[in-house]
Structure 1
Amino acid sequence: MLKILGKIGLLVPALATATVWLVVLRLKNVPVPLLGAYGLLLIGLVAGLLWPGVLGRRVTRRRVLTFVGVPVGLGTLALYLTVVYHVKDLPMLLALAGAACLAGAVSALLRGRRRADDQGTRRTRRALLLGGAGLVLGMLSGLSIGPVERQRREMLARGEHERQAAMRAPGARRRITDGAVRVFPIHIGDTIVTYGQFYGGLDGWEGLNGYLRTLVDKAQIAVPVYAYLIDHPRHGPMLVDTGVNWEQAHDHDGYYDMTSRLLTERDEYRMSPGQDLRVHLARLGYDVKEITTVFLTHVHDDHAGGLRYLPQATVVMDRRDWKHGVLYPYSFDLVKDNLSFPAFDSGAFGTFPASQDYFGDGSLVLLPTPGHSPGHMCVLLRLDTGSVLFMGDTLYTLSHLATGQVRQMTIGGADTIRQLEAAQRIQQLLSSDPGVVPLFAHDNTRYQFDLVTSTFTDGTPGAAGLWELRRHMQTVLTPEWRLRPGHTPRFVAPASGPGLGKVEFR
């Protein structure tokens, strides 16, 4: 009985590990038929090692290892090299292979000493061969470090060359210093997401179920990633979010470690040289070193990646996000000593029970909007002719303000409730103050691409510009926050074969 329980105790974690690995491979777009065949081999290996008799009376564990284990091992290596491997792994892989050879050599040597016959001699000879192979692999591991680092330096140098060329391209402007508060939308590349993740929150895309659906449903779209530059006459140049950095888009696997690579998609970001944060700032007449403050709506990597270019800036974010929301810490390595956590002790702000008047002069107010992340916050900036509300990911697009009809994937449970409560407070704020205009981080509609971009061309929208944005909101949404006809999103599959779909509004 104890033996059976022990085998069951081994079976459960083995199957759990295999399931996680299969899920990771599906996330990496491994075809389902191939994944199914590989999964059956994994199950056969686990079952055969624990209960070899299941596969036949004459089946032994050695045969299971030979006829099932070897194909599984080769398949695992092939899948790893195909979907996870990055050149920076080479020294580690060689070192692991060398260590395995040395361990095999020690085992063969110890077993060979126990016998004085020909088999003992063969085992000793095998130990010497394995030991030699282990030493060679160890030397290759050390020798490979230099070329791997050189390859990465060359790649970064090519990126720097492209960035400098983008900075020198015609059309750059000089910084305007006339005492006005200016806001510039900065389109920092795109992120590739599942359509249901972006628009399917009312169709079952919620919590764990939603995440699992992203593994199976590959109807994907590209949506923009926006940060916003604020030039304030009293408080200097600031940013709301920072978008992604060049390495995330062009050297994704090199930027993330192996564990993170398993949980992210290789092509999740794309960015042209001209969309680099540093290029954007330079072409607007600013130096990235001038940025004094970054207001981070939340810690997700598509909003925090550009922090690597801003080691001098104070990064203002909710403490709850820092403690409980960071998934990949790489973006924060250079600013983790410059973090500032607002206390939200400035009292209520409209329908928001708490707020933070950051500078103490009413010019910029932080509003807690948890749900999408533990400490998500929105930022309200006073302009000369009105206000803008930086939404972060509380709501992705203008259409998402119709929360009863359009919803992004939410975390589920209490977090979904908190996010919807935050959205309702935003609706009430926009209803009560017609001078407030929402600005989104991922809006893929005409509102962002045409109106926001043109209205903020020189950073100062003026009363007429803000009124035009509010007027467009009224053509999309009713006063009860319902979508008007012609503005309901719909996924359009690519015309031929796999690829990115589009979103139409009908």
Structure 2
Amino acid sequence: MAAGLRITAVDCGPLDIDKGILMTGATGKIDVASSVYIIEHPEKGLILFDTGINYNVADPEAAVKYWGPGMREALGCKMTRDHAIDRQLMKLGYKTEDIKYVVMSHLHLDHAGGMCHFPNATFVVQKNELRYAWWPDSWTSLVYCLNDFKDTRGYNFLQINGDVDLFQDGLIQLITTPGHSPGHQAMIVRLENRGLVCLGADTAHLKEAFQNMAPMPYDWNAEILSDSYMKLRILENSGIPIYLSHDPKDFAEFPKNGEWAD
């Protein structure tokens, strides 16, 4: 088996958001990251897990055209141009064309905004998520931004249906965790010195919600989500740590330079 995965987390869109948007019944404000994971695979090259918020949203006027009136303010977006994934890659010494694969946990606007930077990459997405994003139900349409993917029809999509070992080497496994969206998926990575780690994306926004089995206001299906919670609970009970994309503690603990702190 190949060895030597390295992972770095970057914040591609900080939000000062109402906690009630992230967990039903919660109150107050909370600062959260929009995590994107940069993965160096020893044979397949550079891989992204999600792409963050689109660079246009960094400008309040451009955000109105891109996301729609009031959306930037409603989500408390504090993004600057340097938060966008292309600039984040540049800061780490990479170029956008270095990215070979982009794995999408789902296509909500805080995860799919950077797709435009990688027209030559292979995008790995659950088939039903891709189809749903183009024509969502009215009550979930607010969190899908057509501008994120309207120019991607010519992209190379690897549409999968179910759990897969992405490269058949045991290093990156994708597992379906629907509920928050129809085709939401999480990623399990095998690290040489850490063992298995699960990137749970938005299976839950906050660990508090995950631990309490609490739904989120913009979940597609709360009943199906409860099954996905239990799927990750089984992983957690077996000793596999779960890292959620928006949980502040999870982002703070995750390495920012490809190495784990002692």
TM-score (norm 2): 0.85
Partner Cα distance (1:221, 1:381) in 2:
28
- State the partner residue of 1:252: 63
Structure 2: tracts of 5 or more residues without a match: 135-143
Q: Check if 1:394 corresponds to 2:203.
A: yes
Q: 1:238 aligns with which of 47, 50, 53?
A: 47
- State the partner residue of 1:426: 232
Q: Check if 1:193 corresponds to 2:193.
A: no
Return the offset for 1:460: 2.9
- State the partner residue of 2:139: none
- State the partner residue of 2:152: 335
Q: How is 1:4-43 mapped onto 2 (pairs within 5 angstroms)?
A: none
Return the offset for 1:324: 1.5
State the AA in 1 paired with 2:203: T
- State the partner residue of 2:138: none
The 1:423–1:410 alpha-carbon spacing in structure 2 relative to 1, beyond 3 Å, is farther
The 1:411–1:280 alpha-carbon spacing in structure 2 relative to 1, beyond 3 Å, is closer
Return the offset for 1:417: 1.0
State the AA in 2 paired with 1:442: H
State the AA in 1 paired with 2:191: L
- State the partner residue of 2:258: 459
CA deviations on 1:377-403 (whole Å, 9 max, x unpaired) are 111111112122111110113333312
Maintained 8 Å contact 2:57/2:79: no
Partner Cα distance (2:7, 2:129) in 1:
25
- State the partner residue of 1:442: 246
Root mean square deviation, CA, Å: 2.2
Q: How is 1:169-318 mapped onto 2 (pairs within 5 angstroms)?
A: 180-199=4-23, 201=24, 203=25, 220-250=29-59, 251-256=62-67, 261=68, 265-267=71-73, 268=75, 269-318=77-126
Partner Cα distance (2:180, 2:241) in 1:
21
Q: How is 1:34-73 mapped onto 2 (pairs within 5 angstroms)?
A: none
List structure 1 segments (4+ residues) > 6 angstroms apart after TM superposition: none
Q: 1:363 aligns with which of 163, 166, 171?
A: 171
Percentage of pairs with the same residue: 25
Return the offset for 1:416: 0.5
Return the offset for 1:302: 0.6
Maintained 8 Å contact 1:181/1:460: no
Maintained 8 Å contact 1:191/1:270: yes
For CA contacts below 8 A with separation 6 or more, give which structure has more relative contact order: 2
Partner Cα distance (1:391, 1:363) in 2:
16
Structure in which a larger fraction of residues adopt strand: 2
State the AA in 1 paired with 2:158: S
3-state secondary structure, aligned to 2:110: helix
Return the offset for 1:192: 4.5
Partner Cα distance (2:8, 2:185) in 1:
20
Return the offset for 1:325: 3.1
CA deviations on 1:37-79 (whole Å, 9 max, x unpaired) are xxxxxxxxxxxxxxxxxxxxxxxxxxxxxxxxxxxxxxxxxxx
Structure in which a larger fraction of residues adopt helix: 1
Partner Cα distance (1:392, 1:457) in 2:
17
How many residues are treated as equivalent by the alignment? 245
Q: 2:216 aligns with which of 400, 408, 419?
A: 408
